[in-house]
Structure 1
Amino acid sequence: MPAPFRLVASDIDGTLIRSDGTLSPRTIDVIERLPVPLVLVTGRPVRWLRQLYDQMSDPPPAVCANGAVVYDPDTDEVLVATSMDVELLLDVAKKLRDAVPDISLAVEVEDGRAFWYDENWPMRWESEHRQVRVLTSPEELTSVPAVKLLARSASAGSPDDFFALVSRTLGGLAETTHSSSSALVEISAAGVTKAAGLAWLSEREGITAEHVLAFGDMPNDLPMLAWAGHSVAMGNAHPSVAEIADEVTATNDEDGVAVFLEKTFGL
């Protein structure tokens, strides 16, 4: 009996790609033979998609920045973007700086095509990118709308502990989540989640949640996995993800998404 799914939604890091950032030959083959559309649903900004798209013959659309941006690679067009306005950024940044003395902040601006960061942000990559720059003053951080605010702390303990601290501090003022092995929290406008972005794109295509199969591995995937008709956690998933998923597949380094799709669609 054919699978009842009309769309496959997959996170990227820790899920679709291996730990070295590549798609395995097996996964590429399965994606190319998949009888339904694939949508990437990621915390990544638009500018980080090219590394993955270059490995694919037919790049699929992407829900980026944890649901704040929906992107069409065929036209290089942002279909929808939900930003935090300047007033909200000012409020959130002040609360975080008051609560966490050593906090460092950064923002995804221009729909995720540019990245601005505090001087004390631990920048380790893409620092030479023309759309990535260090801010000359704290006020610059909140000078324009942003699709995502990122917060780091060197003294906040575990990623889960820091996430709990930031969530308590903001008290629902904005959406908080995390997907890193370090103390990094990702903050969006209230209501912006991977589920919301995926729901927007699915509705545009005439597809309802019950016909969506979703894969993920980290807490920022939880809303999407709860929304989708069938959810699959990776073998390497955060405990909170494995707990709520309908099924668990192999790890990302064991081609877990491909393994599950082969079985489900008879590929």
Structure 2
Amino acid sequence: MVAPLAVDIDGTLSRPDRSIDSRVLDVLREWDAPVVVATGKALPYPVALCQFVGVEERVIAENGGVAYVNDELFYFGDRDAAAAVREGFADAGFDLGWGESDLMNRWRETELAVSRERPLDVLTDLADEHGLSVVDTGFAYHVKATEPSKGAALEVVAAELGYEPADFAAVGDSANDVELFGVAGESYAVANADDAARGAADVVLDESYADGFLEAARRVRGE
């Protein structure tokens, strides 16, 4: 039987411009085991992806700050501390870098995403002040509680599905996938992965972005 799958979105199911490569959709829909989408994005994005693909909504969002499985929401992050960092960043004279509507954070519940064009030192000091950490995913700076992670959330999601985390194969590309790789039974970093993900993965693929995911999928299926 094929292993259940935990997979990142940006940089893993996407092209370099962050658009989803359509070739991955049928692979996910036809996977003969549960698929868990594990991302740094806010919850509505992976839920919508699952719906458009045609798979059950089993998701880990906000770098492990929130998860949804079997019609139940699990929260692991610190909403109040993230809100306090946002206020402090504004008081220091900085916006988050996403424009007035801020679709990056509008539906985010347990953490804060800040443009990488904003000063990391100011952000890190504020995060430290409120007991939070900053993770650079390559797409944004994520201000989050220290303990939640994709890996810790997978432990909860896997149990809800009747699996162990070690039953899963994981595919990703970023520092926020390190803990996911640590609990999964097999892990694959696509070629465009950052150094942290590459160092944590069991296999670093030669193929990048969605090509890397497709190669990982072939290996997991034993093809």
Provide the TM-score with structure 2 as the length reference. Answer: 0.80
Q: Distance in 2 between matches of 1:44 and 1:63?
A: 9
Alpha carbons of structure 1 residues 206 and 50: separation in structure 2 relative to 1, 3 Å: closer
1:111 maps to which residue? none
2:208 maps to which residue? 251
Matches within 5 A, 1:10-159: 10-20=7-17, 21-25=19-23, 27-49=24-46, 52-53=49-50, 55-72=52-69, 77=71, 79-86=73-80, 88-89=81-82, 92=85, 101-102=92-93, 104=94, 120-124=95-99, 127=101, 132=106, 146-152=109-115, 154=117, 156=119
Query: Which residue of the other structure, out of 195, 208, 221, is the alignment partner of 1:239?
Result: 195
Q: Any conservation in 1 of the 2:82–2:144 contact (CA below 8 Å)?
A: no
Instruction: Give the count of matched residue pairs.
Output: 220
Q: Distance in 2 between matches of 1:15 and 1:229?
A: 18
Alpha-carbon shift at residue 95 of structure 1 (Å): 7.0
Alpha-carbon shift at residue 89 of structure 1 (Å): 4.2
Matches within 5 A, 1:220-231: 220-231=176-187
State the identity %.
22
1:174 maps to which residue? 132
Q: Any conservation in 2 of the 1:233–1:242 contact (CA below 8 Å)?
A: yes
Alpha-carbon shift at residue 245 of structure 1 (Å): 1.0
Alpha carbons of structure 1 residues 236 and 172: separation in structure 2 relative to 1, 3 Å: farther
1:110 maps to which residue? none
Alpha-carbon shift at residue 237 of structure 1 (Å): 0.5
Q: Structure 2: any 5+ residue segments left out of the alignment?
A: none
Q: Distance in 2 between matches of 1:238 and 1:164?
A: 23
Q: Distance in 2 between matches of 1:16 and 1:175?
A: 26
Provide the TM-score with structure 1 as the length reference. Answer: 0.68
